[in-house]
Chains A and B, each alone.
Chain A
Amino acid sequence: MKTAATGAVLLGAQGAQGLIGKLDQQAELGKSKVVVARDPALHGTGAQLDEKRVLALLDRAIATYTGRDKPVEAWKRIVPVGKVIGLKVNGLGGRGISTHQALVMAVCERLQQAGVKPGEIVVWERDARSLQACSLTINTDSSRVRCYGNDVGGYEDQPVAFGSVRVKLAKILTRECDMVINMPILKDHELAGITFSMKNMYGVIARPDQLHAGGCNPAVADLNCIPAIRDKVRFTIGDAMTSVYDGGPGFHPERLWQPNALIVGEDRVAIDQIAWQMIARKRAEAGMPTLEAAGRPPHYIATAADATHILGTNDPHRIHLMEV
């Protein structure tokens, strides 16, 4: 196991929200922990994902994060029993660059083993098309894991606001879910710079297109401060098994890349900071300009960490990065 970043102590805002059972390693270190778990053999020799390896990778990521080797014990520290758990995936980029079905299935399997009933799990995205892009099947039968979009669940009539944003939230978030596990996919973004943890919340509102001005800054940070999002979206299991390092957020096979990784943690700002670094390294490797030079640095990450938003930390010295 490789660990990185030492420095000043910070009890992140995410930590204050807390997960069930308290993740004591995080509290001890006083930093925002982010786990990057990799499996170089995940895509084998071809471009096809070896789905059988995904569950093992997820287990390694969660075990490292929680400090518990047994998956059931580890998951019991993350999710409460008897509550409805939402899995917010991302299928916006269409086939080829959406949260992988194998990862969603692996999370559902572990949630159920940890005591969450199938009907208490809601996998969701903006609409049926986005879910189908993740190869997921629509199901509204509450005896099984539910899977449907905001096109079925609808939006609240009354908008909510924070800072620059005034939005109508998806009812799946406001009325169905007690806790949400955020499951974005790592992508370059033509406007925002990158899209990963915080930006994935554009899928929980009506008219996300209205929040694109100024490189989505401060809109991404403001949106994540809306109480229903800030309080319920408490854990991220980010899909970095496949990514686009340029031309995103749509599917551009010529700019596809396979980091073969999962990025896991509670601090959404720290996760996005690490994700940005990953994309930056890949762009440098490919001889491409930095996102700053391309005129689209993800400024919203720093905004989310500022004194107005306090969503987490983007300071590398305050992030406990564990690469396994």
Chain B
Amino acid sequence: MKSLLVFAAILFAVIAVCTGCKKKGPEPFPKSGAIAGWEKTSETRVFAAKDLYQYIDGDAEQYISAGVVSTSTSDYKYQGQLEATVDVHTMGSADGARKILETGTKDAKPIQLGDAGVAYAQSIIFLKGTSLVRIVAYESTPDTPQALLALARGVEAKL
């Protein structure tokens, strides 16, 4: 009886640890200072596909139809001034991520990042595997494109 209880306790612990691992997942958001000048200014928030409307209602459907599984997001600030948001969409397949990437405008400038990427004056979108990353700055300054690219490379390295 005692050995049965010990076995049950071990089994429970293993299940708890595995479940915990699964929920935690990778953390693609660089910490403050990890990328020169960038500070992480908010907690990471995670939305399952069914709850994505709470974050981007109206926009959510295009991600859902492309097979989004979950979306993680965090805010950043560059040199205490330039604010930006990083969204990491985990898609069901790389095709889904590519589908979203290809909806860009003619102003998009291709960049070498992940499997494919494009840059605009105030935003960068790239994909790596099944992750689709969108980084948006809320101001256009001379430093914005380079600062965003540095942050994007930091995210890419963690994927």
- The answer to whether B140 touches A47 (Cβ under 8 A) is yes
CA distance A96 to B137 in the complex (A): 9
Question: B61–A254 contact, CB under 8 A?
Answer: no
Beta-carbon contact of A250 and B56 below 8 Å: yes
Find A254's partner among B54, B56, B85, B123 (CB 8 Å cutoff).
B123
User: Is A83 in the interface zone, CB < 8 Å from B?
Assistant: no
What is the bound-complex CA distance between A192 and B60, given in angstroms? 13
**Chain B residues within an 8 Å CB radius of A246:** 105
List residues of chain A with CB within 8 A of the CB of B56. 92, 94, 250
**Contact residue among A95, A247, A252 (Cβ-Cβ distance under 8 Å from B138):** A95
Residues of B within 8 Å of A85, CB to CB, are none
Would you call the interface of chain A mostly helix, strand, loop, or mixed?
loop
Bound-complex Cα distance A59 to B81 (A):
33
Out of A47, A96, A249, A255, which one reaches B59, CB within 8 Å? A249
CA of A78 to CA of B61, assembled, Å: 38
**Residues in chain A near residue B137, CB distance under 8 A:** 253
Is A64 part of the binding interface, using a Cβ–Cβ cutoff of 8 Å? Answer: no
Assess whether B122 is in contact with A254, with CB atoms less than 8 Å apart.
yes
**B residues near A250, Cβ cutoff 8 Å:** 56, 58-59
| A253–B105 touching, CB < 8 Å | no
Cross-chain contact of B136 among A92, A207, A253 (Cβ < 8 A): A253
Assess whether B107 is in contact with A209, with CB atoms less than 8 Å apart: no
1/0 contact string of A239-281 vs chain B (CB within 8 Å): 0000000111111111100000000000000000000000000
Interface string of B102-126 (1 = CB under 8 A from A): 0101011000000000001111000
Contact with B along A193-213 (1 / 0, CB 8 A): 001000000100001110010
Instruction: Decide if A249 touches B58 in the complex (CB within 8 Å).
Output: yes
In the bound complex, what is the Cα–Cα distance between A253 and B148 (angstroms)? Answer: 13
> Which residues of B lie under 8 Å from residue A254 when comparing CB positions?
105, 107-108, 120-123
- What are some 22 contacts across the A-B interface (CB < 8 A)? A47-B140, A94-B85, A127-B54, A189-B58, A190-B58, A202-B57, A207-B53, A209-B53, A209-B57, A209-B60, A212-B58, A247-B103, A247-B105, A248-B58, A251-B136, A253-B121, A253-B123, A253-B136, A253-B138, A254-B108, A254-B120, A254-B121
Give 6 closest A-B pairs by Cβ, nearest first. Answer: A209-B53, A253-B122, A254-B120, A249-B58, A250-B59, A96-B138
